[in-house]
Amino acid sequence: MAIRKLKPTTPGQRHKIIGSFDNITATEPEKSLVVGKKSTGGRNNYGKMTIGYIGGGHKKRFRFIDFKRTKDGIPAVVKSIEYDPNRSARIALLYYADGEKTYILAPNGLEVGTTVMSGPEAAPEVGNTLPLANIPLGTVIHNIELRPGQGAKMVRSAGTFAQLVSREENYAIIKMPSGEVRKILATCKATIGSVGNSDHALQQSGKAGRSRWLGRRPHTRGVVKNPVDHPMGGGEGRASGGHPRSAKGIYAKGLKTRAPKKHSSKYIVERRKKK
């Protein structure tokens, strides 16, 4: 995938960098795999605003993505590569040999007409889903399960990938995109390749209006508020606001948020690298 930098014909176009849609082959989603999506506007069931700066935005339809890939041994042909407004990655529509249709995340290099398969017998090729026990060491993977049969939970964002480093008894050692090295049961499944749309991180909206289309309202900085509204507010002149924190007083930088006795900590071999 490539990106497009537009000519500065207007102030909004001057800094605008957007992704190209060259690899997208269908404009309408598969009707049987979509459902209407209701937006909350940041309000709870009483109508009270519980999350700020959310509202508006374009109407979306939710696409059901097959993160479990349970149709083992049945080949599927990639019918189309499509845009999904609910995620940064592109999605691929699969037609299985038994007539079923599903969506999967489209990895880099997956093209229309390619045949993909899941299960222990599948070849370690792009788009195929295998148990970690059957994947060769050093392979780049994404869509990783944390528990067998749970469905993929990790490495699903555009351009991300993990790497299968080694195996120890019943566990596979995975290097995550953050740099963290952790153990995952070798019976968990993962998909070969990296997630597509890798240029997504290079995009720039160019104007405030594009944020409104995405459902993001203007965000007011805490330091310009009054003390009654924010812990960083108030002060004579332009005060710095002190230590960065949220409106509820939770530190925004340097505070460890992971539970100290979290059961999965024993599976982490090496912590992610600090910024």
**Would residue 59 count as lying in a domain?**
yes
**Would residue 232 count as lying in a domain?**
no
**Would residue 90 count as lying in a domain?**
yes
Q: How far, in Å, CA of 35 to CA of 223, rounded?
A: 41
The CATH number of whichever domain residue 56 belongs to comes to 2.40.50.140
Q: Give the domain range for residue 121.
A: 3-200
**Would residue 214 count as lying in a domain?**
no
- CB neighbours of 66 closer than 8 A, spacing ≥ 6? 94, 102, 103, 104
Going residue by residue through the chain, which has 275 residues, state the pLDDT in tens, using 9 for 90 and above. 588 998 999 999 999 999 888 889 999 999 999 999 999 999 999 999 999 999 999 999 999 999 999 999 999 999 999 999 999 999 999 999 999 999 999 999 999 999 999 999 999 999 999 999 999 999 999 999 999 999 999 999 999 999 999 999 999 999 999 999 999 999 999 999 999 999 999 999 999 999 999 999 999 999 999 999 999 999 999 888 889 999 999 999 888 888 999 999 999 999 988 76
**Would residue 221 count as lying in a domain?**
no
**Would residue 121 count as lying in a domain?**
yes
For the chain, how many structural domains are there in total?
1
Q: What does the radius of gyration of the chain's CA atoms come to, in whole angstroms?
A: 22
- Cα-based torsion angle of the residue sequence 162, 167, 172, 176 in order, rounded to the nearest 10 degrees: -30
DSSP string of the chain? --EEE---SSHHHHT-EEE--TT---SS--GGGEEE----TTB-TTS-B-STTB------EEEPB--S---BT--EEEEEEE--TTSSS-EEEEEETTS-EEEEE-BTT--TT-EE-BSTTS-S-TT-EEEGGGSPTT-EEESEESSTTS-EEES-STT--EEEEEEETTEEEEE-TTS-EEEEETTSEEEES-BS-GGGGG-B--SHHHHHHTTBPPPPPGGGS-TTT-TT---SSS---SS-B-TTS-BSSS---S-TT-GGGGGEEEPPPP-
**Would residue 130 count as lying in a domain?**
yes
Map tokens 């992704």 to a residue: 19
**Would residue 39 count as lying in a domain?**
yes
173 with 166: CB under 8 angstroms?
yes
Map tokens 């939970």 to a residue: 153
List pLDDT tens digits, range 167-212. 999 999 999 999 999 999 999 999 999 999 999 999 999 999 999 9
